[in-house]
Amino acid sequence: MSDIVRGDPSTYPDWFSRKKSTTPLIVSRWVPAILVGIPVFVLLAIVIYPTVWMFYHSLRDTNIQGLFMGNHEYIGFQNYATVVGSERFQDSLVHLAQYLTFGACLQVIIGTALALTLYEFVKSNAARTVILIILVLPMMLPPSIVGVLWRFLLTPSNGAVNQALLSLGLIDAHIEWFNAGVSLWSIIIADCWNWVALPLLIVYSGRVSLPPAVYEAARVDGANQWKVMRRITLPMLKEVIAIAFILRFTDAFKFVDLVYVMTSGGPAQTSELPTYIAFQRGIREFAIGEAAAYAIIIFAISAVLITLFLKYMKRVMKAQGLA
């Protein structure tokens, strides 16, 4: 090869000019394909395939036998009609609304209140840590244990809760915690105890990261604690609280475990949530097609609600220049 002249590309060696091409030499064209392929495959295997499978069976009269023998027939949207038309499903929607309002919402409200109280009134870091750990403990228990624990605590005749309320004089007869109309409240209480630490942790960490200088400015401006809380802290935590809410909200749609352990949806199906019915119909009664329709309907409802919610959030954040 002849001498290389700087500034004259025609004298550059081959490897030098090749470097400019868009495919680097070292990376064969299979590498990107494999790198992209793995996540695509995983996604297909664990998300897309089951969803498609479920949608497929929601349109067929599949039961457990049919599933294994491979004989099930296309029946259009009949499963959906059955589900939507059933009183059991309609009731469960009411239960879900009750659970969302008093379970998820209340948990977020109580969690937020606890987090802010902890931050404002406990100034020592050691004390804060200890309190946080104690509050987070229930979250570490498996739901079956929580369910059993609260079944005991709420036992009408001699459960700890009734005893305590009686001795405090707040009630003068046992509350029948597992009667129709009350049992869902029992589940909500247990769930609240179980999960209140999640919004608490989220809001607490959000509060810790708010800029202290803003609070100094508010003090100099003469705002009292209440004003600061209402006009500055809560608005600045809006996004964080919304995230805590979304997490509890999505959990509500797949909430099965405590219902199963504590009441099994009873008495007389008065504490059933849609997901629990899907579980019952599919896993217990082997009506695979109908259970699939339940799942798809629940998915649709939650997707719509959460999309609306995120849209709203995005608008708020955009207005404030945060997104």
Partner 1 sequence: MAHVALKNVNKIYGSGTRAVHAVQDLNLDVESGEFVALLGPSGCGKTSTLRMIVGLESISSGDIFFDDRRVSDLEPQDRNVAMAFETYALYPNFTVWENLAFPLEVRGVSEVEQRQRANEIAELLHITPILDQYPPNLSGGQQQRVSLGRALIRDPSVFILDEVMSHLDAHLKFQMLFDLKRLHRDLKRTMVYVTHDQVEALALADRVAVMSNAVLQQVGDRNTLYNRPANVFVADFIGEPPTNFFTVEPAQNGDSIKMIVTNADLTFALTEQTAAAVKVHGGNRFTVGIRPQNLHLDDKGDLQAEVLINEYLGERSILSVANSQAKFRALVSPDVTAGPHSSVRFSYDPADVLVFDEKTEALIV
123 binds partner 1 (CB under 8 A): no
Interface characters, 283-322, with partner 1 (x: CB under 8 A): ------------------------------------xxxx
Q: Rank residues 65 and 320 by Cβ distance to partner 1 and give the closer one.
A: 320
Q: How far is the CB of 227 from partner 1 (least distance, A)?
A: 6
CB of 222 to partner 1, least distance (A): 5
Instruction: Give least dist CB 306 to partner 1, A.
Output: 24
Nearer to partner 1, 18 or 219 (CB): 219
126 or 220, CB closer to partner 1? 220
| Nearest distance from C-beta of residue 321 to partner 1, angstroms | 4
The 3-state DSSP class for residue 278 equals helix
CB of 307 to partner 1, least distance (A): 25
State which residue, 109 or 223, has the beta carbon closest to partner 1. 223
Handedness of CA 219, 225, 227, 232 (dihedral sign): positive
Q: Closer CB to partner 1, residue 39 or residue 321?
A: 321
Our CB check for partner 1 shows the closer of 69 and 220 to be: 220
User: What does the DSSP 8-state code read for residue 267?
Assistant: S
Closer CB to partner 1, residue 192 or residue 316? 316
Residues near partner 1 (CB under 8 A), total = 22
- List 214, 283, 300, 304, residue binding partner 1 (CB under 8 A): 214
Query: 113 vs 51, 110, 191, 199, 242, CA distance in Å?
Result: 38, 5, 17, 10, 14
Least Cβ distance, residue 219 to partner 1 (angstroms):
4
Write down the least CB distance from residue 150 to partner 1, Å: 39
Nearer to partner 1, 237 or 288 (CB): 237
**HEC letters along 16-31:** HHHCCCCCCCCCCCHH
CA distance 73 to 53: 14
Q: Give the shortest CB-239-to-partner 1 separation in angstroms.
A: 10
Cα separation, 140 vs 270, whole angstroms: 28
Backbone phi and psi for residue 195, each to the nearest 5 degrees, phi listed first: -115, 0
Q: Quick one: which of 1, 126, 140, 213 contacts partner 1 (CB under 8 A)? A: 213
Q: Least separation, in Å, of the C-beta of 322 and partner 1?
A: 7
- Binding to partner 1 (CB under 8 A) within 218-257 occurs at 218-224, 227, 231-232, 235-236, 238
The interface region with partner 1, picked from 154-162, 210-218, 245-253, 270-278 by CB under 8 A, is 210-218
- Which residues bind to partner 1, rule: CB under 8 A? 211, 213-214, 216-224, 227, 231-232, 235-236, 238, 319-322
